[in-house]
Amino acid sequence: MKSQLSKLLHPLCGRTLLSWAVGAAEGVTPDKLVVVVGQQREQVEAHLDEIAPHTIKAVQDNPHGTGHAVRCAMSQLPQVSGEIVVTYGDVPLLTAATLRRLVTHHRQAGNAVTVMTAIVDDPSGYGRILRSETGVTGIVEHRDASPAELAIQEINSGIYVFDADVLRDGLAHLEPTNDQQELYLTDVLGYARAQGATVGAYVEADVWQTEGVNDRVQLATLAAEMNHRIVTGWMREGVTVIDPATTWVEAGVSIAPDVELWPGTILRGATSIASGARIGPDTRLTDCEVGEGAQVLRSEAVLSEIGPGASVGPFSYLRAGTRLGRAGKIGGFVETKNAQIAAGAKVPHLTYCGDATIGEGANIGAGTIFANYDGTNKHHSTVGARSFIGSSTVLVSPVTIGDDAFVAAGSTITGDVASGELAVARGRQRNIPNWVERFRRRATSSAGATVQDAERIAQDSADQMDKE
C-alpha cells in the first residue's frame, strides 16, 4: 500500500478491510475468533480493541508463509477440536452467508479439508487447484507451477475449513521445500490426502468474494464493486438513484423508500435519510439525520440534523452540532456550527451562524455574521422567535435578541435587544447638498481635482451642515 497505515485499516465503503473480514467471520458464530497480527500490529490491535474486543490476537513476528501464520493462530487454540475456518483479512467482499455455505458443504461432504475455489479467466498469481476423480489432490502456487498447471483456471481463494486434528497434524509436518523457504498452508491438503483423509472443494460462483487487496488500485476496484452492490441494494428497497455510477453510499447508512439521490451524492457514516427526502446533486453528508421531505442541494453536512420539510443549499456547509427544525431553511453560501435553528426559521444567504440559537420563525438577513470568537473563547448568542435580523448585521456574541425584535440592516450589535424593540447600531447617514457640482467645478479648474480635494469638499460641507 506504500502507507504508514496498515493495509488492514484502509477504509472501503465506510469500514476497514479488517472490519469487513471480522464481520464475515463472526457470521459463522465461532466459539473463538483469532486474528493473526504482524506488521504494524500496534495499529491493528488497537483497531481490534475498538471493533471486536473479544478476538484473540496471535502474533507472527517473522512471517514465513501462510502455514506459519496458521501455526501462530493454532498456538492460541491448544485444546480446540471440531472445525477451523481459515480466511484472510484483506478480502472485503467475502460474506458471512458464503462462509456458512462453505461450512455446510464441508459437513455434508464429510471432508477433512474443504477449500473454497473459483473459476477465473485470468488465474495469474493464484495457486491452482489440482484434482482427480476422487477430489482435490493438492494446490500448487503460481510460481511453482508447471506450464500444464498454469493453464488451470480453478484457483485457490485461500479460504478453508479444516478438521482441527488434521490441521494440527498437518501443520506439524510442514517443511519449507519451496523456492521461498516458506511454510505453505496448501501443503496441509497434500498431507491430509496422504493420510487417507477426504479433501474437497467448494466452488464460489461470485468471484469478487475471493478477490484480495494488495495495493491501492485493487482497493479502488473492490470499493467500486462494493459500492455498486450497496447502491443496487438500496434501489431494490425503493430508493431512486439517478446515477449509480456517481453515487456513493457507505455500509452504515440507512435510507427509507422514496428517497431521491441525485448525481454526485456521497452518504457516509451513520447517516439516515427519511422518506421523500431529496439529496444532491453534488452533496456529501456524514453522520447526519435528514427528515421526511427535506432537500439538500450542493452542500456538505457533518454531524447535523435536518428536519422534515427543511431545505439546505446550494453551496452551504453544516458543521457539527447544526440542528435545522421542521420547514427551516439554510440557504446559499451559509456556514453553520453548533447552531439550533428552530422550525420555520430562515438563514437564507451568505451568513456565518456559529454557536447560536435561532427561535421559531425568525429571519436572518443576508450577510449576517455571528461573531462568536473573541480570540480566546467561543460565545453563544440567541435570536428570539419571529425576530428579524437585517442584512449585513454583526451580532457580537454573547448577545440575546428577544422575541419579535428587529435589528436594522448594517448594525453591529454588542448588547441585548429586548422583545419588541428595534435596534439600530450604525453611523447616521448624511446627504451633502451640491457636493457633486462643487467637485466637478474643482475638477475643471486648471489645477484639476484630487482625492484630497474631494475629501476636503465633503468635510467642509459636513461642517456647514453641523453649524446649520
What domains are defined for the chain? 7-116+158-197 (3.90.550.10), 216-423 (2.160.10.10), 435-467 (no CATH)
Asked if residue 459 has pLDDT above 70, the reply is no
Q: Are 125 and 217 in contact (CB under 8 A)?
A: no
Q: Which percentage of the chain shows pLDDT scores above 90?
A: 87
Predicted confidence band of residue 448 (pLDDT cuts 50, 70, 90) = low
Query: Which is it for strands 335-341 and 363-364: parallel, antiparallel or unpaired?
Result: unpaired
Over residues 201-227, mean pLDDT: 97
Nearest to 395 by CA among 375, 385, 380: 380
Over residues 75-79, mean pLDDT: 93
Q: Are 189 and 199 in contact (CB under 8 A)?
A: yes
Distance, in Å, from the CA atom of 454 to the CA atom of 457, rounded to the nearest integer, reads 5
Asked if residue 438 has pLDDT above 90, the reply is no
Q: Active-site residue among 47, 349, 379, 380?
A: 349
Over residues 320-324, mean pLDDT: 98
Known active-site residue 349? yes
Nearest to 358 by CA among 371, 343, 341, 370: 341
Distance, in Å, from the CA atom of 223 to the CA atom of 250, rounded to the nearest integer, reads 10
Per-residue CA distances from 185 to 65, 169, 174, 239, 442 (Å): 8, 12, 8, 45, 98
Compute how many other C-beta atoms are within 10 angstroms of the C-beta atom of residue 92. 29
Per-residue pLDDT, 214? 94
Length of the chain: 468
Per-residue pLDDT, 449? 56
Asked if residue 466 has pLDDT above 80, the reply is no
Per-residue CA distances from 51 to 43, 47, 48, 54, 95 (Å): 13, 6, 5, 9, 17
Per-residue pLDDT, 467? 57
Per-residue pLDDT, 442? 76
CA 251 to chain centre: 9
User: What amino acid occupies position 342?
Assistant: A
Predicted confidence band of residue 204 (pLDDT cuts 50, 70, 90) = very high
Over residues 224-228, mean pLDDT: 98
Distance, in Å, from the CA atom of 76 to the CA atom of 70, rounded to the nearest integer, reads 10
Query: Which is it for strands 352-358 and 381-383: parallel, antiparallel or unpaired?
Result: parallel
pTM of the model: 0.92
Over residues 399-423, mean pLDDT: 98
Distance, in Å, from the CA atom of 395 to the CA atom of 160, rounded to the nearest integer, reads 66
- The 10s digit of each residue's pLDDT in 133-153 is 888 999 998 988 999 999 999
Q: Are 335 and 319 in contact (CB under 8 A)?
A: yes
Nearest to 340 by CA among 358, 362, 313, 360: 358
